[in-house]
Amino acid sequence: MKGKVLFISGIDTNIGKTYATGILARALAEKGKTVITQKMIQTGCTEVSEDIEMHRQLQNIPFTEEDKAGLTCPYIFTYPCSPHMAAECDGRTIDLATITEATRKLQEKYEYVLLEGAGGLMVPNDFNSLTIDYVKEQNYPVLLVTSGKLGSINHTLLSLFACKQYGVEVKALVYNLYPETDKLIADNTMEYLTQYLEKEFPGTVFICLPEYATLISTN
């Protein structure tokens, strides 16, 4: 039986996807699950994915054989920008089938594959495909990472609306508390988003990092 893929996306870049992915992977492992993280596309790096490196640090494990084989990050580009531009800068192209095949190989060994995207859901992989197109095509449930910083409500609702329009399941909304922001805004944002989920996405779990235990019982 193949492992379950959970796609980790965010409402924006630098919102805490990498932190969330590593922490949730560690939590699953602590519950006795076999879990591996994967980065769909890494930009701004050479040779080694800095996000995979951060995952392993958060999991308190060394690089895996799958890391060394390149399965956990099939594409690494040097320029720190959107994947479509980074590929162009390096004179390369992105074949999404390569990513899919790498994920399938990981599914054969692990119960969970936490696949972290690059940036948000509407980030282009090339001039013909957005990240959300790929997520829909693969039928991956999404864990959407947000935070309490100013502007998060707008960005979160837009991302949730996009998922609804595309028919993508939002398994959980992950509320990242770090780094700390204005407490009044953060508390109000959390209150608003939890109430919004109850009304508009009643099946979606609200996870407040690092209080991640509620995800573990989700199949």
Q: Region 27-33: what's the mean pLDDT?
A: 95
pLDDT interval class at 15 (50, 70, 90): very high
Q: Which residues are catalytic?
A: 39
pLDDT at 216 over 80: no
Let me know: does 155 contact 11? Beta carbons within 8 Å. yes
- What would the mean pLDDT of 144-152 be, rounded to a whole number? 95
In tens, the pLDDT along 71-87 reads: 999 999 999 999 999 99
Mean pLDDT of 52-79: 97
Residue 117 marked ligand-binding: yes
Does 151 carry a binding-site annotation?
Answer: no
- Residue 181, pLDDT > 90, answer no
The rounded distance, in Å, linking the Cα atoms of 62 and 51 is 14
Across residues 149-166, what is the average pLDDT? 97
Confirm or deny that 119 is annotated as ligand binding. yes
The reply, when asked if residue 16 is annotated as ligand binding, is yes
Handedness of CA 35, 39, 44, 45 (dihedral sign): positive
Does the annotation place 219 within a ligand binding site?
Answer: no
Helices within the chain (DSSP H only): 17-30, 50-59, 65-68, 83-89, 96-107, 131-138, 152-166, 183-200, 213-216
Q: Is 19 annotated as a binding residue?
A: yes
With CA atoms as reference, report the closest residue to 70 among 48, 55, 53. Answer: 48
Of 14, 11, 15, 4, nearest to 38 by C-alpha is 4
